Chains A and B, each alone.
Chain A
Amino acid sequence: MHSVAAIDMGRRSLSRVLMRVIALPMAFGLFAMVSPWLPDYALEIGFRVFLLITLAEAWNLMAGYGGLVSLGTAAFFGIGAYAFTASMNHTGAPIALALLLAGGSAALVALIVAPAVFRLRGLYFTVGTLALAEATRLFMVNSTAFGGAKGLLLAQDPPGPRELYLIALSLLAVATLFMTLVTGTRFSILLRAVRDDEDAATQIGVRPFRVKLGAFSLACFLTGMAGGLQGLKLGIVEPYGMLGLQWTINVLAIVIIGGQGLRAGAVVGTVFVVAMGELLADWPALHLALSGVILIAAIRFAPQGLVGLWLRAWSSK
């Protein structure tokens, strides 16, 4: 069954690869070129959309392709933000290098906790990552080295909205490149094999621990870079904002509303969630409550999200 799916994927992927090689870079170029004419509000929204798509792509890699449903997004996002701010303040590293360090720190933490959380198959991974997020937050609140509840201030002024927009766009380009490489290669088939039946995959020679570790650490790397970027934008990292559950909720809502395991799902879901966030900007609690309701409805009525609904309508025509 797996091999049939693989052949099928191989045939379809030729036109997809062409589309990705030509259409995606054009889209990125277009978004970059229009930036001088965009008003601040559009730049702000663009920044948020690019950041959240990056986070959603990373989450989708774990959950949609690998069956690793993580509730630890906030932990890796926050770790990235702290690592970014600390390295900017103490080493004077350029932004790009500090962002790489942020992603690297998050991936390192992922590697360290992996043996513990992967022992737990399936749903216990979810609870393990949730516990990790809470532990990270409590640690940062209590530790004096990272500024406790007050957090860390970025020593230099954050760049302007246009520069932030372009950095976020570049980050998304990096994430898209990674995702295209990963989902277009053998690795994604291994990952899906592990997701669908870990025991069967082991029987045919797949090493589940390595495959899961690869997906987990790459996703955490991207999440950490996104966290570093948010730290750059705000100019301050503190445990309640950066390590708050709202990041996890948003990402989960985006992927489930957009469509799990579908590349376009992250984009569609982000546009939906950001639009809803803008409409309800003055009522954050109501916004989150509604996200929860939509999440519940999507799981029940559209398990493949909006993109899945659209695909089904398209194929039945």
Chain B
Amino acid sequence: MFDATVVTNSLASGLLLGGMLALTALGLSITLGAMRLVNLAHGELLVGGAYLGYGLMRAAAIDPLIGLPLVGCTMGLLALPLHRAVLTPLADKGMEAQMLTMFGVAVVLNNLYLLGFSADTRALDTWYAARAAHLGPVTVPVIYLLGFAVALLIVGLCHLLLTRTRFGRELRAASSDADAARTLGMDVSRVHALAFALGAACAAMGGVLIGMAFSFNPASGGGHLLNSFTVVVLGGIGNIFGTLIAGLVLGVVQSLGAVVFGDGYRDLVGLLLFFIALALRPQRIAATGSR
């Protein structure tokens, strides 16, 4: 029914794309796990990373992949005052107030991008991105391979950060029981601020990779937010390995959906997976979803 090479190629690109999805989802997962924050501005932070990469490329001719750490650090540094200004004052007002505030932030950022950069769709074009890489019988764009490798590297570094450092220990303590951590003398609000910055940095770096492999415009944040949510719900909150596997699953499912139903259905198939995941894994969500 379908051409075998088309199917294997799209399976391979789906798998590679899944690595990038896992990186962006990790950003959402960290803030959700550590701060109980449903960061509805996640997609806008991701797109913001892509614009930062674009600016670096245009203004300083820095290759987006080389500029990646710079974009991550910049977004992390920008996230700290944002956290201080909008989230810290709401720390004891419950999850709903923080979530709706982040929705407000998403609306503001979305329209600021529109005002500043127009509605044009852009891409982080590099000379190597569109070249084909041949891996035995499979052909994929070079940028998919590079993006996958870089995403995997960053996810691995995050894993080390969360399991091997003092900050990681504090972050895990704050996510499992914030009150107990506070009693033990930890500065939980500082940990939250850093977790927010780390989540934003992951989103921004994922945004650069996605901007190199695909394209982006001011409105593309919403779709990325839902993609990341699908991965988090599938993989479990705060579970790095689960996030990675779930990212790969979503990438493959989306690519298969695009082959079977047409490219327009790529995201719709992903959302279907989201609803199925919600229906089948309620216990995962109930554990952290209740107040």
Q: Would you call A122 and B278 a contact (CB within 8 A)?
A: no
Shortest Cβ gap from A116 to chain B (Å): 5
Stretch at the interface among B103-111, B120-128, B150-158, B241-249: B103-111
Contact among B101, B108, B222, B271 for A245, CB-based, below 8 A: B222
The reply on A139 being an interface residue by CB < 8 A is yes
Q: Which residues of chain B from 125 to 176 have a CB within 8 Å of any chain A CB?
A: none
Shortest Cβ gap from B88 to chain A (Å): 10
Given contacts A122-B95, A124-B289, contact A69 B111 (CB under 8 A): no
Given contacts A131-B275, A256-B100, A299-B101, contact A119 B282 (CB under 8 A): yes
The reply on A223 being an interface residue by CB < 8 A is no
Q: Would you call B103 and A138 a contact (CB within 8 A)?
A: no
Q: Which residues of A contact B289 (CB under 8 A)?
A: 120-124
Q: Which residues of B contact A295 (CB under 8 A)?
A: 100-101, 103-104, 107
How distant is the Cα of A53 from the Cα of B274 in the complex, in angstroms? 32
Contact among B225, B279, B291 for A116, CB-based, below 8 A: B279
Stretch at the interface among B67-75, B192-200, B261-269: B261-269
Q: Which residues of B contact A299 (CB under 8 A)?
A: 90, 97, 100-101, 104
How distant is the Cα of A117 from the Cα of B86 in the complex, in angstroms? 28
Secondary structure type dominating chain B contacts? helix
Tally chain A residues at the interface, Cβ within 8 Å.
39
Given contacts A116-B279, A124-B285, A245-B222, contact A289 B112 (CB under 8 A): yes
The reply on A182 being an interface residue by CB < 8 A is no
Q: Would you call B268 and A292 a contact (CB within 8 A)?
A: no
Q: Would you call A123 and B96 a contact (CB within 8 A)?
A: yes
The reply on B66 being an interface residue by CB < 8 A is no
Q: Would you call A128 and B278 a contact (CB within 8 A)?
A: yes
Chain B 215-231 against A: per-residue CB contact (8 Å), 1 yes, 0 no? Answer: 00000001101100100
Contact among B38, B86, B268, B286 for A296, CB-based, below 8 A: B86
Sorting the interface of chain B by its residue count into under 10, 10 to 19, 20 to 34 or 35 or more gives 35 or more
Q: Which residues of chain A from 281 to 298 have a CB within 8 Å of any chain B CB?
A: 285-286, 288-289, 291-293, 295-296
The reply on A130 being an interface residue by CB < 8 A is yes
Q: Would you call B107 and A142 a contact (CB within 8 A)?
A: no
How distant is the Cα of A11 from the Cα of B222 in the complex, in angstroms? 46
Q: Would you call A289 and B272 a contact (CB within 8 A)?
A: no
Shortest Cβ gap from B106 to chain A (Å): 8
Q: Which residues of B contact A138 (CB under 8 A)?
A: 264-265, 267-268, 271
Residue of A nearest to B222 (CB): A134
The reply on A71 being an interface residue by CB < 8 A is yes
Q: Would you call A116 and B89 a contact (CB within 8 A)?
A: no
How distant is the Cα of A141 from the Cα of B261 in the complex, in angstroms? 14
Q: Which residues of B contact A122 (CB under 8 A)?
A: 95-96, 289-291
How distant is the Cα of A130 from the Cα of B271 in the complex, in angstroms? 10
Residue of B nearest to A139 (CB): B268
Chain B 53-96 against A: per-residue CB contact (8 Å), 1 yes, 0 no? Answer: 00000000000000000000000000000000010011001011
Shortest Cβ gap from A277 to chain B (Å): 14
The reply on B114 being an interface residue by CB < 8 A is yes
> Most chain-B CB neighbours within 10 Å: which of A127, A134, A295, A300?
A127
Shortest Cβ gap from A253 to chain B (Å): 9
Q: Which residues of A contact B93 (CB under 8 A)?
A: 303
How distant is the Cα of A234 from the Cα of B71 in the complex, in angstroms? 44
The reply on B115 being an interface residue by CB < 8 A is yes
Q: Would you call A123 and B38 a contact (CB within 8 A)?
A: yes
The reply on B99 being an interface residue by CB < 8 A is yes
Interface residues of B (CB under 8 A from A): 38, 40, 86, 89-90, 93, 95-97, 99-101, 103-108, 110-112, 114-115, 222-223, 225-226, 229, 262, 264-265, 267-268, 271-272, 274-275, 278-279, 282, 285-286, 289-291
Interface residues of A (CB under 8 A from B): 67, 69, 71, 115-117, 119-124, 126-128, 130-131, 134-135, 138-139, 141-142, 245, 249, 252, 256, 285-286, 288-289, 291-293, 295-296, 299-300, 303
Q: Return 5 A-B CB contacts under 8 Å, by A number.
A: A134-B271, A286-B115, A289-B108, A300-B86, A300-B97
